[in-house]
Structure 1
Amino acid sequence: MAAHGLVHGALGENCIHLCVDMQRLFGPGYPWAFPWLEKVLPPIEAIAGSHPDRTLFTRFIPVERPGQGRGTWRRYYERWSEVTLESVGPDAVRLHPALERYTPPAIVLDKWVYSPWTEGILDQFVCAKRVDTAIITGGETDVCVLATVLGAVDRGLRVVLVTDALCSSADSTHDALMELYLNRFSEQIEASSAAEVLANWR
């Protein structure tokens, strides 16, 4: 595996913190609960709290009821009918309570698919803030984080994955994706601890 750490140097003023889908929907008591969610919250809170005005939280929004959704998403919500909005209720899509206090100034971006890039709003934000680096936390490493990372790579952003602030519901695919990120995208993706990010993001 490639070397860990900020191998391309300190983080500049044009960084943003992209926190992926840290919502109640993925917490205890819900069908899609991430076992690691509570464990990764403290480093995510530390990064968001240090730069709330440079933090953007994405939220995954399910369809209202089964039978909705385009193409394969329709089949997806027939399989996962218990996580439609009529089943889980509107509070489920809210950010985790520990993170809501950072908004504002942190921004919330809603999405209806895995990637936050499809609607163009994130592109506008990146251009307006002159972003050159995305520090990425949240979940899942192998689903929505994957879509977020690849979109950032395609846009030429330096991507820093915070290793102790990422979670998945499956250890094996989390590990596989971390290996993929660092071995196949080593010029574009770095992996660093939250402590190192905080120490090098002024």
Structure 2
Amino acid sequence: MAIGVSLACPFPAQQQERAMHKIEIPAYATQRAMERRGRIHLFDRIDPAKTAHIVVDLQNGFMAPGQPAEIATAREIVPNVNAISTACRQAGALNVFIQNTIDAETHSSWANWFAYFSNPERRKRMDAAFAEGSFGHQVWPGLEVTEDDLKVLKYRFGAFVDGSSGLHKELQARGVDTLIITGTATNVCCESTARDAMMMNYKVIFVSDGTATFTDAEHNATLANMMTIFADVMSTEEVVGLLEGSAKPALVAAE
């Protein structure tokens, strides 16, 4: 009988007004994954030198209380995202911080989104929140960012769609073929980025307790989509273990 997968968070969440998601991947997703590939997890090892941790839109505009696109749950995943970032640095992988950005050109080239999916009042608030240089545009201060990390501006939900960002070019220049996805919103920018990445031939790991959105239902629906078709769904603990295990041969050889 097929069973669902429940992935508990191994790192303590901060006490905020909204708890982390209750992760319950539905049984049909695990069953279809097993039928398609014969196992739940896709990747036993990765090459850290060819791996990038893509931190999607963890900015004040999505995380600070009272901001127009606030997702309270996103504040709770910060310890997990930092743990993965640290593991990436230690293993020799790249950290990339994506920043959702709105400007005049975006309004022109993506006019239908702004015209039909957002009322004028909200559109005005979002424009102000995600204008380059604004408070909302800045990376959340609780994230650990170093001078070796990369920041990339993004002008669509998915980071890889044409006209959205220079992420693909940056990754290709560094020989990256494997992506670890964290950030917010799980079912919007994270899912859009992961879907396109897989179809552009990247190996994709989607972090179940390193992504966040408005409700558990939306979060788990995306995890089901990822597991069934698009990515290897792992917990933070599993990702950190994968990075540490994959880096060991290189570290031994260097000694």
Quickly name the TM-score band, shorter chain normalised.
0.7 to 0.9
Q: Describe the superposition over 1:79-99 as per-residue Cα deviations: whole angstroms up to 9, x where unpaired.
A: 532222279880110000022
Aligned to 1:83: 126
Aligned to 1:10: 45
User: What one-letter code is carried by the residue in structure 1 that aligns with 2:136?
Assistant: A
Instruction: Give the Cα separation in 2 of the matches to 1:18 and 1:130.
Output: 15
Q: Describe the superposition over 1:171-197 as per-residue Cα deviations: whole angstroms up to 9, x where unpaired.
A: 2222111112212x1xx5111111111
What SS class does the counterpart of residue 30 from structure 1 fall into?
Answer: coil
Aligned to 2:158: 115
Aligned to 2:203: 158
- Asked if the contact 1:5–1:196 (Cα under 8 Å) also holds between the matched residues in 2, the reply is no
What SS class does the counterpart of residue 135 from structure 1 fall into?
Answer: strand
- Asked if the contact 1:5–1:192 (Cα under 8 Å) also holds between the matched residues in 2, the reply is no
* Aligned 1:63-78 pairs, distance under 5 A: 63=103, 68-69=107-108, 70-75=110-115, 76=117, 78=120
Aligned to 1:168: 213
Deviation larger for 76-85 or 128-137: 76-85
What SS class does the counterpart of residue 97 from structure 1 fall into?
Answer: coil
Aligned to 1:30: 67
Instruction: Give the Cα separation in 2 of the matches to 1:107 and 1:159.
Output: 19
Shift of 1:111: 1.2
Percent of paired sites with the same residue: 22
Higher relative contact order (CA 8 A, sep 6+): 1
Q: Which runs of 5+ in 2 are unaligned?
A: 1-28, 34-38, 248-255
- Asked if the contact 1:34–1:168 (Cα under 8 Å) also holds between the matched residues in 2, the reply is yes
TM-score (norm 2): 0.69
What SS class does the counterpart of residue 77 from structure 2 fall into?
Answer: helix
Shift of 1:35: 2.1
Q: Which has the larger radius of gyration?
A: 2
Structure 1 residues 177 and 87: CA distance shift in structure 2, 3 A? closer
Q: Which runs of 5+ in 1 are unaligned?
A: none
Q: Describe the superposition over 1:129-181 as per-residue Cα deviations: whole angstroms up to 9, x where unpaired.
A: 21121000001111001110112111111110111101011322221111122
